[in-house]
Every structure is written in structure tokens, then in C-alpha cells.
Amino acid sequence: AQSVTQPDIHITVSEGASLELRCNYSYGATPYLFWYVQSPGQGLQLLLKYFSGDTLVQGIKGFEAEFKRSQSSFNLRKPSVHWSDAAEYFCAVEPYNNNDMRFGAGTRLTVKP
């Protein structure tokens, strides 16, 4: 079955530490891949996306993600986390531009001072 999996429900990191959020997908072919961030009480905002080409993509707010076809993964990374990064992060996939974007369950990030 087609699915998007975010294995970590909740992650806590110290401010200044590095961050990696995991995302795996199960689709017949590589879909379009996205990471969104949701701050408390807000809607979702696009961080970055991958369609094709260079497997390391840069996004806003200092985030990057790496697509690994062999692992069906699209993990989100940031070298140094800031307190303002505390939020919920969603991985999403859209097969072939078909208006049916599917979201993972989300990973909630807590940042310790």
C-alpha cells in the first residue's frame, strides 16, 4: 500500500545541536517529495521540495533534505537548531502531480535551552 512514514513522533534536541528528521515512503515510483512545518496554532508552511535532479535540496530557515532512492527516504536536516525551530514537521508526497498530496503523521520537535 502507498504510505508515508515518519518513524519519530517526538524528538527533543538542545539548542545548537544538529537535527535529522526521518521520512520514508512507499510508492511504485518516486513521487514528488516535500517537507512542511507547522508552528503552534498555524497552518503549514513549505520548507523544501524535491522533484528530480540533485538529491540534496536546500530550503528555507537553514533546512536541507536528502533524497535516497535506494532507501525510499527523504530525511530533513539542520546543522544547528534554534529555539524558534520548535514546531511540528510533516513529510508529504504527491504522486505525479495528481492533486492528492499525502502527509505523514508528523514529528513534533522540542528544543531545549
Interacting residues with another protein (CB under 8 A): 4, 9, 32, 34, 36, 41-46, 49, 51, 90, 94, 97, 99-106
Shorter beta-carbon distance to another protein: residue 12 or 45? 45
Shortest distance (Å) from residue 53 CB to another protein: 14
68 to each of 19, 25, 34, 41, how far by Cα in Å? Answer: 18, 11, 14, 32
Residue 49, phi then psi, degrees to nearest 5:
-150, 155
Shorter beta-carbon distance to another protein: residue 15 or 95? 95
Q: Are 7 and 74 in contact (CB under 8 A)?
A: no
Shortest distance (Å) from residue 64 CB to another protein: 17
* C-alpha cell belonging to residue 28: 511504485
Shortest distance (Å) from residue 87 CB to another protein: 13
* C-alpha cell belonging to residue 40: 503552534
Shorter beta-carbon distance to another protein: residue 77 or 102? 102
